[in-house]
Structure 1
């Protein structure tokens, strides 16, 4: 099994971009029909789960592509 060698700063930057984008969409009310506002619990969950799932996708990709060679 091969493990990807991720750059922690890259994961942090990507996570910040995703969370800030979702925060702007929530604040403007474009994500739902409810009044504009922020849901800090949702943003915290996204901030935790996004890097976890990104790493899992990279892990699967590293192992699928390594066995194809």
Structure 2
């Protein structure tokens, strides 16, 4: 089993972009149709789970590529 060597700064930048994008979409009401403000609990959950799932996807991708070689 191969483990990817992620750049932690890249994960941080990607997480920040995703959370800020979702915050803007929530604030403008594009996600639900009514701009009721921000949901901080949702944004915290996304900020915590996004890097974990991104790493899992990179892990699967590294192992699929290594088995094909």
RMSD: 0.8
Runs of 4+ off more than 3 Å: none
The residue that corresponds to 2:49 in the other structure is 49
Residue 46 of structure 1 deviates from its aligned partner by 0.2
Deviation at 1:35, TM superposition (A): 3.4
Structure 1 residues not aligned, in runs of 5+: none
Q: How many residues are aligned here?
A: 69
TM-score (normalised: structure 1): 0.96
Q: Give CA-to-partner distance per residue, 1:11-59, whole Å, 9 cap, x none.
A: 0000000000000000001100333310000000000000000000000
Unaligned runs of 5+ in 2: none
